[in-house]
Structure 1
């Protein structure tokens, strides 16, 4: 009888442990933080270039869950960055050029507006102006992506806690005469227009903002350095300090511009720089275990191809050298190709498959359960 009781007690303990383990796993599978990295203008070929031209193994190789998104806007088969980012930020299709509005021009709540109400910290980073189409879609509403001063005003009035990029002129040399740096100071921002600080310098600040170029940030090839990866790391440190959860959008903006210019060196150098920022996000996510990292793009630019390099024989006859890569382009605009999505962390399995770009918004809310928070 005693043996039976011992066996039953052991079984009960095992069952309890299993149930407890299920509960723990369920909690871990709900992401507390999200880092969304957007490589503007980047398709599979741009990503592939990192595997040939980066001197170390690209951080893209660290992902296990990979999907594809369809990128068309509400009226056009080929999207632009404004419509593409609005799909991510607001979960709706809209027309090219629109920021944070639906196809009928009505304003739509974005992620920053939704989660700030739930005390989730938010941050925006870009290698363009911080008022450019992609970052703007996460905090602004305007019918035209070119309204940079209007977008800057909405940033100053938003609930964003951290930002870093270019665009200083849209804040302090405005047509309306306002100096939005004063507005940001009144909202408890520590603002720097010269360089990124160490975390220790902003640790006690309520909010932090960096406007480090009059318009767009310099190219990597012109000495920008490790701004993107450093800003991503700094944002993580700053937004995680009160342990309330955070959302960061970091954009490698100029990969797109290399595609528009059909400049392979420009494109690849920016893509490798972006991959370094992916590494910072993944290092944090692997260490903490509660952070979802998503890497994707709004669209592909340039019709970029990695082909055999074209060479000529001594007789002047052209041939393809399959031992060497030649980078070519088919357009100076955007294309409609499907775009890869890479995900790591709690809820990352949700990002496998083929789906519309608006589903990124929905999958973030599902993985975090932010909608259910009081």
Structure 2
């Protein structure tokens, strides 16, 4: 049962709140036909309906992944002359990510009020629904109006759909495709109705039957927006949710009712038209911990590349009547470890995300009808590569707190200890007094690369990759974008995150605008 904080709303009312959206953008795909043959032609070939240029769209995002995350991961694992998989995609661009204030109009409106730094919820709404909204909002515009998501539109138009994340599946990025909420924290199972409301938007409290104040877990379990759902967050679901999922035809891996998490083995053998698998009660575990602790329960979790491959396998074997599929894949822990200024785990999570990109790219190259877009929702923490032997972030007295402490495995000791004391041995400039010790510095963090001489170790002054952070939160920097496949040229150059919605909707023939 849900926590006692939950109101006495009935499950019938909650289920009724799960909106099935009809939208003019969700129009049927254009009709294609072969050219007519000449009259009287003897060996006329049967008419065929050629496939559209794009049959599938795979949208991958590294949460919090800025340009420096990409560069640093490349140098760390492949050296200065190497490249990540995402960097091999032929189309390159950058994405602006700003959000807007509550009750703001859209860009160009008289009441437009921008916010330079987005959070994951408003960013997810931008590409999934094509509108700017306020930080913490999901599937609603800045004035609280419900807006359809791309995944809802794709599902309505006959596509198969998938949603994969290393975060809780109710967290902002995956939830942005499958729910509508005034406040991203309205996830369940423990919540108060007041926590789901936002009187600054609605003026008065909404009835509990309104989808915008229905817990995100309730919505996901009942609206069938995604056919394949893989990630973390089992603790957000309960026995009623499991019954709803099974009633909607999902193969449920593990059990929300007993809080039994699914495993990598469960995923490997999973079959069915709809599959729901959550592998941790909270966010999934960082790859570094699993590698260092191979006998742990956390090591039984699948990796992001494994979940991506399984999602593609399940979606591509859809019924013959299906048009194709739309899949979103999130590498969420890049952001969570950047918030904690944990460079070691940030780098390894960026590589894991890039390995998932390779899975998608390999499929797309063989399929030839798949659009792949790789980007981020925002940059996190002002991650920077600095000159060897220099020092920055001297004002910080300690690393930021671990924002992902719900999963103790998602933490490690920073390369430097807790003090932000400046160092004369790793800094130039008159402000650093002679004789200062470098023992207590937590930044920069230093890493060996394939270009370093044998014997050079991480965390030493000899390592060639020196990294530091500007803050413990998001920044307003544009984020990188890489793309491959039919229509990918549309995202070249500088674009806004709302334009990504336009490109993907057009690729799936959901709109002709």
User: TM-score interval w.r.t. the shorter chain?
Assistant: 0.7 to 0.9
Aligned twin of 1:156: 221
- Determine which structure has greater relative contact order: mean sequence separation of CA pairs < 8 Å that are 6+ residues apart, divided by chain length: 1
| Equivalent position to 2:269, from 201, 214, 221 | 201
Residues 154 and 508 in structure 2, CA contact (< 8 A), matched pair in contact too: no
How far residue 169 of structure 1 moved from its aligned partner, in angstroms, is 1.3
Aligned twin of 1:215: 282
The structure-2 alpha-carbon separation of the partners of 1:307 and 1:200, relative to structure 1 and needing over 3 Å to count, comes to: closer
Instruction: Say which is worse superposed, 55-64 or 273-282, in terms of deviation.
Output: 55-64
Aligned twin of 1:229: 305
| Structure 1 segment 89-108 matched on structure 2, within 5 A | 89-108=128-147
| CA–CA distance in structure 2, aligned partners of residues 57 and 370 of structure 1 | 35
- Alpha-carbon RMSD across the aligned residues, in angstroms, is 2.3
Structure 1 stretches of 4+ moved >6 Å: 320-323
Q: Does 1:256 align with 2:329?
A: no
SS in structure 1 at match of 2:142: coil
| CA–CA distance in structure 1, aligned partners of residues 284 and 497 of structure 2 | 27
Please identify which structure carries the higher helix content.
Answer: 1
| Equivalent position to 2:170, from 124, 127, 131 | 131
| CA–CA distance in structure 1, aligned partners of residues 56 and 170 of structure 2 | 24
| CA–CA distance in structure 2, aligned partners of residues 318 and 138 of structure 1 | 46
Instruction: Say which is worse superposed, 339-348 or 278-287, in terms of deviation.
Output: 339-348
Aligned twin of 1:303: 382
Residues 273 and 314 in structure 2, CA contact (< 8 A), matched pair in contact too: no
The structure-2 alpha-carbon separation of the partners of 1:44 and 1:322, relative to structure 1 and needing over 3 Å to count, comes to: farther
| CA–CA distance in structure 1, aligned partners of residues 131 and 357 of structure 2 | 26
Could you tell me which runs of 5 or more consecutive residues in structure 1 were left unpaired when the two chains were aligned: 1-23, 173-177
What is the CA deviation profile of residues 240-275 of structure 1, one whole-angstrom value per residue up to 9, with x for unaligned ones? 102520011110001001111111001101000000
| Equivalent position to 1:109, from 148, 156, 174 | 148
How far residue 318 of structure 1 moved from its aligned partner, in angstroms, is 3.8
Alignment TM-score, normalising by the size of structure 1 = 0.86
How far residue 227 of structure 1 moved from its aligned partner, in angstroms, is 1.5
| CA–CA distance in structure 2, aligned partners of residues 317 and 340 of structure 1 | 34
SS in structure 2 at match of 1:138: helix
Q: Does 1:241 align with 2:317?
A: yes
How far residue 85 of structure 1 moved from its aligned partner, in angstroms, is 0.6
How far residue 110 of structure 1 moved from its aligned partner, in angstroms, is 0.3
Aligned twin of 2:508: 368
| Structure 1 segment 1-374 matched on structure 2, within 5 A | 30-55=53-78, 57-75=83-101, 76-149=115-188, 150-159=215-224, 160-172=226-238, 179-193=240-254, 194-197=262-265, 201-203=269-271, 205-223=272-290, 227-242=303-318, 243=320, 244=322, 245-310=324-389, 317-319=425-427, 324-371=464-511
Instruction: Say which is worse superposed, 144-153 or 219-228, in terms of deviation.
Output: 219-228
Aligned twin of 2:447: none
Residues 79 and 299 in structure 1, CA contact (< 8 A), matched pair in contact too: yes
Residues 133 and 142 in structure 2, CA contact (< 8 A), matched pair in contact too: yes
The structure-2 alpha-carbon separation of the partners of 1:100 and 1:201, relative to structure 1 and needing over 3 Å to count, comes to: same
Residues 35 and 249 in structure 1, CA contact (< 8 A), matched pair in contact too: yes
SS in structure 1 at match of 2:122: helix
Number of aligned positions between the proteins? 340
How far residue 119 of structure 1 moved from its aligned partner, in angstroms, is 1.1
SS in structure 2 at match of 1:358: helix
